Amino acid sequence: MSLSLISLGLYDLRDISKKALDEARLCNILYFEDYTSYYDNSLEEIEKAIGLSIERLSREGIENNSEKIIKEAKQHKVGILVIGDALSATTHSSLLLEAKQKRIKIKVIHGSSILTAISETGLFLYNFGKITSIPFENKEIYEPYEVIKRNKPLHTLLLLDLKDKNYMNAREAIDYLLRIEEERKEKLFTEDTLCVICCALGSDNSIIKAGKVKDLIKLTFDKYPQCLIVPGKLHFHEEEFLETLK
Amino acid sequence: MSLSLISLGLYDLRDISKKALDEARLCNILYFEDYTSYYDNSLEEIEKAIGLSIERLSREGIENNSEKIIKEAKQHKVGILVIGDALSATTHSSLLLEAKQKRIKIKVIHGSSILTAISETGLFLYNFGKITSIPFENKEIYEPYEVIKRNKPLHTLLLLDLKDKNYMNAREAIDYLLRIEEERKEKLFTEDTLCVICCALGSDNSIIKAGKVKDLIKLTFDKYPQCLIVPGKLHFHEEEFLETLK
């Protein structure tokens, strides 16, 4: 039959599109994958909204069970509900590739994503460079710092790790970058660096705050998920916008 | 009152989220802006789906009428329906900034966007560099070529111009890049360069085709909108995926 990657969108059940909802309802087997992102509704609430029972997949679930899923997709209409836009994680494109290679019909239904929602900061999307992410286990990890450096004069979006419903906050991301700065001493990320913190974008309680690192670390943000942006060179328009977020 | 930027999503009316639909229905004054993107439904069809009358804005409309819109937003709940995700064009963030500066309540409802939909190519979103776009009037324009060069080894997404319902196609984009190559002779974009063409992503008739320039230019694509991707260094996984799109 077929394999569909169905996007739930950015934050909660009200972000799903009609296209995604209709596609989900046509499926015989539905999985929900929530290890890569925060989602504000429970599995039970999603089941109620769609009207079908859904099986939760862990990260190991999708990687270890790809054989099972592919096998099912040969016989049934299988859908995987994904938070944000469908292919943001590489495991999804692996699965899609496997299905394509096995000549299973595939379909992707798109949804809203943090990767474009960050335009709410007033920073222009075409002024961003490569995206990077900060893992919890980052003792020997230099990639995020180096991406900021290589991206300059472009902006850098740093996505933050999550593990077992524990979401990294922007403060931890800043502490990590300051620690690498202390090792590297390249004056790339200091207490005077301008940053933007985004919390719970797409929700009614979203917070966007711009400021120097030394000012931002005095604040506490309790809405999740959070991400951090290190702006590069600012267009005067972007600068003015960030002023309103200080 | 307030100003809301309301995303319609990627392709047609079935891409709108419940959040966006509900927000639109709460507005007293609704505008629709379609100069930056292709949308598969007519203004009349959108009006019918939302149940309110809507005024169309041209590019000049949003730029020249910002004063009028801001003035209305002081008294009324004003919504602007935007194709794709709400802030992809800089005119929208200008308008939002103006509203913020005038202390008008603002709201952004997000939607699916071409900027993440391109992950359907199997190329990883975090391997992309800066986005660029090719205008119709490009005689003295070198920016897209230079962005591809600077982005290497990252991938480059090239968005294509539209004007008065005339959409640039991927062939025109390729011809433009070959012409700049002929001037520059940097062997950056030749007949042997691997490219990916995306047409009508998000629709049931979407086409994604990968191949060398010399092979792609033999093909004709009649679905719109189209965009072009010039991949950089490929992960073996991305390479395998593109193989299925040849």
Taking CB atoms and an 8 Å limit, are B125 and A88 in contact across chains?
Answer: yes
Quickly state the pLDDT bin for B59 (edges 50, 70, 90).
low
pLDDT over 80 at B246, yes or no: yes
One-letter amino acid at A163 equals K
Residue B40 burial by CB count (10 A; 0-12/13-18/19+): exposed, middle or buried?
Answer: middle
Structure-derived torsion over alpha carbons of residues A135, A141, A144, A146, reported in degrees to the nearest 10: -170
Task: Confirm or reject contact between B119 and chain A (CB < 8 A).
Answer: yes
Question: What ipTM was predicted for this assembly?
Answer: 0.96
Taking CB atoms and an 8 Å limit, are B112 and A115 in contact across chains?
Answer: no
By the 8 A CB rule, do B56 and B65 touch?
A: no
Closest residue of chain B to A93, computed from CA coordinates: B122
Q: Which residues contact B65 (CB under 8 A, 6 or more apart)?
A: B57
Q: In the predicted model, what is the mean pLDDT of residues B55-81?
A: 89
pTM of the model: 0.96
Give per-residue pLDDT as tens, B95-116. 999 999 999 999 999 999 999 9
Q: Percent of chain A, pLDDT > 90?
A: 89
* 42-71 of B, contacting A, C-beta below 8 A: none
Give per-residue pLDDT as tens, A115-140. 999 999 999 999 999 999 999 999 99
* 5-34 of B, contacting A, C-beta below 8 A: 7, 9-10, 13-19, 22
Q: Which residues of B touch A128 (CB under 8 A)?
A: 130-131
> Parallel, antiparallel, or unpaired for β B55-57 and B29-33?
parallel
Task: Confirm or reject contact between A135 and chain B (CB < 8 A).
Answer: no
Taking CB atoms and an 8 Å limit, are B110 and A15 in contact across chains?
Answer: yes
Give per-residue pLDDT as tens, B191-230. 999 999 999 999 999 999 999 999 999 999 999 999 999 9
Residue that is written with structure tokens 């995020």 in the block: A144
In angstroms, the CA A151 to CA A155 distance is 7
* 215-244 of B, contacting A, C-beta below 8 A: 237, 240-241, 244
Three-state SS at A226: strand
Quickly state the pLDDT bin for B62 (edges 50, 70, 90).
confident
Taking CB atoms and an 8 Å limit, are B87 and A120 in contact across chains?
Answer: yes
Give per-residue pLDDT as tens, A74-129. 999 999 999 999 997 788 899 999 999 999 999 999 999 999 999 999 999 999 99
